[in-house]
Amino acid sequence: MSMTIKEYAESRKISYEAVRKQTKEYKNKELKAHIKYDGRTAYLDDYAIDFLDGHRQKRNTLLYPTNKEIEEEMARLRTQILNLQEELVRRSDRYTQLLEEHSKTLEDKARTDTLLLLADKEHEELEQAKQELSKYQRTIFGLYKKVD
């Protein structure tokens, strides 16, 4: 199957001049027997087409998003922002709750420590009172007398 340079350029979506320049570069050596002329029209055979395809530089194609794609992405990002805001509020509430619990725990610990100190003091006083009481003996008249 052969095709003209113009047909080749259209099929590859490149300019005629780019193909003409490329064929001119290789026509004396690699493509010498693979380009046929009919008047001023050049025809490329299958080998020439494959050869030119192999020697084309790859084009970087930029695809710009459509308005619909942009709107969808914006909607997705808005949803993500709302979800993150809700998560932030939840975590903030949880943080506040934990701070309150921590405060209450510290207050309870302070109360417990104070009660323990009071209990220790009362226990000491009770022990002192027992020791003091043990120094007294009951007399025959029902009174108590200090024994040393």
Beta bridge partners of 43: 4, 36
Q: What is the pLDDT of residue 105?
A: 97
Q: Which band of pLDDT confidence, cut at 50, 70 and 90, is reported for residue 122?
A: very high
Q: What is the pLDDT of residue 143?
A: 85
- Domain range list for the chain: 3-54, 67-135
Q: What is the pLDDT of residue 59?
A: 64
Q: What is the pLDDT of residue 13?
A: 84
Provide mean pLDDT across the span 2-7: 88
Query: Alpha helix locations (H) across 4-143?
Result: 5-11, 16-26, 46-54, 67-134
pLDDT tens for each residue of 10-29: 888 888 898 888 888 887 88
Q: Taking the CB of residue 34, how many other CB atoms lie within 10 A of it?
A: 20
Q: What is the pLDDT of residue 114?
A: 96
Residue 65 has pLDDT above 80, yes or no: yes
Provide mean pLDDT across the span 121-147: 88
Residue pair 111/100 in contact (Cβ under 8 Å)? The answer is: no
Residue 78 has pLDDT above 90, yes or no: yes
